[in-house]
């Protein structure tokens, strides 16, 4: 009997998924990167200064250690937390559209990022690349004006 109940639950989940009736909180996206990084508080400051991010959630684990944080950049959210003894760093490569690749690059360099690519025109747009102090690689592309 249990397998029948499990099958019904699985079918309902699939139905909801296919009919786009999932209850995703309005402040969230369907998929969000979750970075485990050293220096999570400083990461939040980096995203504020470089991308104009705003803090959406912050749950400290202890003094100076983030258990869970969320930063909103435009209509997107990045979740993050500090590394622990049990969970090591899980940085990422992040592609992001920006208003000005030059300005984003300049701000990132002033916040301690390392250059991966100076701003340059590529077939897909005006872009740059940098490695932040927390282990992430960022690939900003300047959005074209409408």
In angstroms, the CA 96 to CA 80 distance is 17
pLDDT at residue 31, rounded to an integer: 85
pLDDT at residue 28, rounded to an integer: 81
What tens-digit pLDDT sequence spans the chain (146 residues)?
565 566 666 666 655 555 666 777 888 888 899 999 999 999 999 999 999 999 999 999 988 899 999 999 999 999 999 999 999 999 999 999 999 999 999 999 999 999 999 999 999 899 999 999 999 999 999 988 77
**Tokens coding 29:** 């996206």
- Evaluate whether 80 touches 71 at the Cβ level (below 8 Å): yes
Helix 40-51 / helix 101-110 crossing angle, nearest 10 deg: 150
- The CATH architecture annotation of domain 25-142 reads Roll (3.10)
* Alpha-carbon dihedral sign for residues 88, 80, 100, 52: negative
pLDDT at residue 19, rounded to an integer: 61
């Amino acid at each position: 009997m249990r397998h029948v109940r499990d099958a019904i639950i699985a079918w309902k989940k699939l139905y909801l998924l296919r009919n786009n009736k999932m209850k995703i909180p309005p402040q969230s996206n369907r998929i969000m990167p979750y970075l485990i990084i050293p220096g999570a508080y400083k990461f939040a400051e980096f995203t504020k200064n470089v991308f104009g991010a705003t803090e959406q959630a912050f749950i400290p684990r202890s003094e100076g250690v983030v258990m869970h944080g969320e930063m909103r950049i435009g209509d997107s959210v990045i979740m993050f937390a500090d590394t622990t003894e049990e969970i090591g760093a899980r940085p990422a490569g992040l592609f992001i559209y920006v208003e000005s690749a030059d300005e984003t690059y300049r701000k990132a360099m002033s916040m301690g990022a390392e250059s991966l690519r100076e701003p340059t025109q590529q077939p897909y747009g005006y872009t740059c690349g940098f490695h932040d102090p927390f282990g992430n690689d960022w690939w900003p592309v300047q959005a074209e004006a409408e």
